[in-house]
């Protein structure tokens, strides 16, 4: 995201002062709350039993063996750890999962991060506009610095595993919390950014605060984000466009969905049902889906501009089964279709070695998560969310648009 700078040093100083004041106010308000509102929301997704319905006893044995291969592979990048946390949280969410708590604490501590990623700049830093999570750029990739692959991926991960907003984070720039990162994210939200992970994080942590004003003076809302996602053609976007379906699925199972009018909710359901129809049409004989899943199968077969690897098939298939497992049966492909896809993932993970999994940890993490979810035959997770009680902490600290998240990546 590139935004033209429009003000000088004075505006920088004003923005920094206002951002600091907003952060101080947020901390003061949080201290006044002796105990933040804490709750565990069990989400009745109902997808797991249907995904596992076609598995034989032999299939289940192979599935357990495949998951052991995944567990033996090491997460090498910080984004790999995000994926591993989501996998581990499927068995038990963060508040009651000691092993998960230990791994999260290690990466979020200053000493632990330095030990795990020697030579990397801090993942979390403070810019004049608030706390930031380092974003992927070509420069950082060359320097082997650690970063999140998508805007608000870290926040969405915290929401999915059930991490509380008061979870502490250590950085070379000082201590912060998940809640402060969320506040800064809301202030710096720009409608032109990638919004899928943002929607998943916001509606999980702040389901009752669907509207806010960013630091540019713009009124933002979950409704506008949802409408923006609905304009995206199926199959377009990162990971074969599957993040669009994932974001809408996360939104529909959140309390925030009840605040939308029925017409827009129907559009969300129609979007997912249409995707399921395309998946039925575009499934390969082995049960997988390619990055071209939304195209006409004949046209996709003729296309030689998009070479497809085995990892691509695992990534796209895993992403699709993940959102399918969240939504009502009426919005899914047939059980026969999803059963074939699940068996493909078991087959692929069963044949992968540690080097293959570690090379494309994202793809195999989504595959492993779906397989584990199916075997557990239980809701995919519960989220414990400690959220601020006062929406006033999200006050607009200024209208200057100087400095986007991209511009702030060099503190």
pTM over 0.85: no
Residue 61 has pLDDT above 90, yes or no: yes
Residue 350 pLDDT: 95
Q: How far is CA 21 from CA 125, 178, 313, 394, in A?
A: 17, 18, 48, 11
Outline where DSSP puts E strands in 121-267.
Answer: 124-127, 130-133, 168-171, 174-177, 211-213, 219-221
CA distance 93 to 108: 17
Per-domain residue ranges of the chain: 15-294+307-400
Q: Convert the pLDDT of each residue in 110-169 to its tens digit.
A: 999 999 999 999 999 998 889 999 998 888 888 889 999 999 999 999 999 999 999 999
Does 1.50.10 match the CATH number of domain 15-294+307-400? yes
CA distance 361 to 82: 10
Q: Convert the pLDDT of each residue in 263-309 to its tens digit.
A: 999 999 999 999 999 999 999 999 999 999 998 765 655 555 566 77
User: Is the Cβ–Cβ distance between 339 and 53 less than 8 Å?
Assistant: yes
- Read off the pLDDT of each residue in 64-93 and give the average, rounded to a whole number: 96
User: Is the Cβ–Cβ distance between 331 and 276 less than 8 Å?
Assistant: yes
- Read off the pLDDT of each residue in 180-206 and give the average, rounded to a whole number: 96
Q: Convert the pLDDT of each residue in 357-379 to its tens digit.
A: 999 999 999 999 999 999 886 33
3-state secondary structure of 213: strand
119: burial class by Cβ within 10 Å (0-12, 13-18, 19+)? Answer: exposed
């Amino acid at each position: 995201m590139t935004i033209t700078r429009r003000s000088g040093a004075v505006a920088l100083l004003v923005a920094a002062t206002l951002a600091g004041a907003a952060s101080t106010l947020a901390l003061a308000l949080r201290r006044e709350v002796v105990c933040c509102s804490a709750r565990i929301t069990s989400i009745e997704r109902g997808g797991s039993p249907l995904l596992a319905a076609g598995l034989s006893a032999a299939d289940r044995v192979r599935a357990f063996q495949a998951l052991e291969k995944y567990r033996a592979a090491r997460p090498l990048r910080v984004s790999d750890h995000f994926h591993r946390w989501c996998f581990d949280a499927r068995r038990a969410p963060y508040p009651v999962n000691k092993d998960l708590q230990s791994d999260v604490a290690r990466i979020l501590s200053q000493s632990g991060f330095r030990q795990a990623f020697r030579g990397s700049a801090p993942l979390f830093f403070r810019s004049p506009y608030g706390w930031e999570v380092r974003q992927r750029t070509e420069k950082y990739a060359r320097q082997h610095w650690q970063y999140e692959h998508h805007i608000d991926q870290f926040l969405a991960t915290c929401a999915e595993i059930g991490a509380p907003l008061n979870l502490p984070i250590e950085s070379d720039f000082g201590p912060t919390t998940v809640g402060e990162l969320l506040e800064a994210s809301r202030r710096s939200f720009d409608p032109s950014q990638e919004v899928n992970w943002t929607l998943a994080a916001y509606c999980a942590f702040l389901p009752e605060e669907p509207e806010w004003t960013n630091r540019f003076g713009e009124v933002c809302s979950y409704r506008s984000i949802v409408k923006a996602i609905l304009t995206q053609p199926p199959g377009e976007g990162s990971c074969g466009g599957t993040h669009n379906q994932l974001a809408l699925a996360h939104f529909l199972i959140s309390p925030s969905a009840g605040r939308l009018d029925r017409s827009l909710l129907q559009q969300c359901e129609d979007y997912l049902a249409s995707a399921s129809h395309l998946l039925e049409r575009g499934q390969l004989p082995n049960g997988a889906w390619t990055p071209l899943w939304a195209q006409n199968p004949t046209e996709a077969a003729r296309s030689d501009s998009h070479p497809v690897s085995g990892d691509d098939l695992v990534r796209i298939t895993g992403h699709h089964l993940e959102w399918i497992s969240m939504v009502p049966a009426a919005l899914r492909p047939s059980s026969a279709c999803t059963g074939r896809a699940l068996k493909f993932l078991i087959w692929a993970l069963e044949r992968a070695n540690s080097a293959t999994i570690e090379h494309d940890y994202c793809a195999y993490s989504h595959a492993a998560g779906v397989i584990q979810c199916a075997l557990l035959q239980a809701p995919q997770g519960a989220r414990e969310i400690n959220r601020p009680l006062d929406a006033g902490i999200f006050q607009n600290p200024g209208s200057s648009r100087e400095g986007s998240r991209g511009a702030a990546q060099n503190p």
